[in-house]
């Protein structure tokens, strides 16, 4: 969707700004729950605000074969870290793709759920690659925090 929209913008005779968005708002919690569910993990949420945590409630076999073997019920897998708060936080973020739809005929095609599943599958593939490289004695850079 994103690359197609970029391509459509570049086809214009006169450059213009367009918003690349679906017009549908999702929360970080929704993102986390979909990703966890795709891995066979059910989460329970406890606490509020900066004290909120996502705790593993149940673990089922990973849907794409394999499993979420590194987590067990009771593990805290989501925490709020104020370090990642935006300095000028806004109440809501929602892109309006109306101009792109009307002027370019663009419509988003991939659903939020499918995008999250694609991201999880990619991360699982990279984790497998990194595990194999470590097993074979290669150094693997750690790009997460």
In tens, the pLDDT along 5-21 reads 999 999 999 989 999 99
Helices and strands per DSSP (H, E), number in the chain? 4, 3
Q: What is the pLDDT of residue 2?
A: 87
Helix H or strand E encompassing 38: helix 28-38
- For residues 96 and 22, give the distance between their C-alpha atoms in angstroms, rounded to a whole number: 7
DSSP SS3 for 75: coil
pTM given for the model: 0.82
Of all residues in the chain, what percent are helix, strand and coil, respectively (each to 5)?
40, 15, 50
Q: What is the pLDDT of residue 67?
A: 54
| Region class of 16: left (phi > 0), else alpha (psi between -120 and 50), else beta | beta
- For residues 128 and 96, give the distance between their C-alpha atoms in angstroms, rounded to a whole number: 38
- For the chain, the structural domain boundaries read 1-25+92-109
Share of the chain above pLDDT 90, in %: 73
CA 135 to chain CA centroid, Å, is 28
Helix H or strand E encompassing 45: strand 41-46
User: Does the pLDDT of residue 103 top 90, yes or no?
Assistant: yes
> 25 or 90: which carries more pLDDT confidence?
25
CA 6 to chain CA centroid, Å, is 21
20: burial class by Cβ within 10 Å (0-12, 13-18, 19+)? middle
Q: What is the pLDDT of residue 1?
A: 87
CA 50 to chain CA centroid, Å, is 20
Q: What pLDDT digit, counting tens, does each position of 42-85 carry?
A: 999 999 999 999 999 999 876 555 555 688 999 999 999 999 88
User: Does the pLDDT of residue 91 top 90, yes or no?
Assistant: no
């Amino acid at each position: 969707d994103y690359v197609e929209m970029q391509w459509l913008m570049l086809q214009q005779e006169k450059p213009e700004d367009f918003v690349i968005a679906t017009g549908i708002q999702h929360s970080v919690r929704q993102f986390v729950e979909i990703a966890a569910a795709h891995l066979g993990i059910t989460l329970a949420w406890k606490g509020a605000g900066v004290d909120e945590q996502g705790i593993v409630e149940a673990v089922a076999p990973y849907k794409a074969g394999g499993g979420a073997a590194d987590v067990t019920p009771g593990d805290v897998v989501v925490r709020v870290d104020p370090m990642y708060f935006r300095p000028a936080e806004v109440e809501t973020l929602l892109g309006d793709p109306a101009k792109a739809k009307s002027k370019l005929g663009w419509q988003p095609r991939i659903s939020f759920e499918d995008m999250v599943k694609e991201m999880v599958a990619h991360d699982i593939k990279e984790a497998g690659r990194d595990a194999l490289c470590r097993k074979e004695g290669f150094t693997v850079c750690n790009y997460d925090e």
